[in-house]
Amino acid sequence: MDSKIFEPGYYTDQDLQNVGFKSLGKNVAISKNCTILGIPNISIGNNVRIDSYCSIFATGSGYLTLGSYIHIGGYSALSAGSGIVMEDFSGLSQGVKIYSRTDDYSGKCLTNPTVPQQYTGVDEGKVSLGKHVIVGAGSVILPGTTIGEGASVGAMSLVTKDLDDWNVYFGSPAKKLKRRSKELLLLEEQLIANRENT
């Protein structure tokens, strides 16, 4: 029996060229068992990998912009109805949820997408992840938040407000623990230099 029978594999940028993405870079790999809606509203840079069972929704006026050197771990969900931007070298571990829209939980409005809009109180706002942001497994990011360059968010955290550059955060809601090292910027320089010389 073929040992790869359970491996769905990845679509490559060659497979994806004529799918209709707003823009598509090189060396893109998207697992064949992802759900992606709103393809014309999605821009993808170079060296991007999206793993199994991810769900991406960028329908209507929504949009998703992925920079280069991006990884989205399996079982993540990006609800980009009001926009999500991930800058270069940012990444999501497994099971991260990003919401650019969410229902009002106060009890003052009706909830869920089957209810006409005039009866709901949807909270919405673009979510931005700066360059070199890393978000740990199972974390949730709520609408209208910006995670600053180089910030890291520990597993199972809840991001409810903007996070400053180059800090480590953890908790529900996420709180600052300490400064994050910038040594990785030297590695970025080396990587870019090596790419340019090949």
127-129, strands of its sheet edge to edge: 23-24, 42-44, 64-66, 84-86, 127-129, 146-147
Q: How many CB atoms lie within 10 A of CB 107?
A: 7
Report the C-alpha gap between 66 and 100 in whole angstroms: 15
Looking at residue 33, the DSSP 8-state letter turns out to be T
pLDDT digits (tens, 9 = 90+) for 91-144: 999 999 999 999 999 999 999 989 999 999 999 999 999 999 999 999 999 999
Between the alpha carbon of residue 138 and those of residues 9, 60, 70, 161, the distances in Å are: 23, 27, 18, 17
| Banded pLDDT at 1 (limits 50, 70, 90) | low
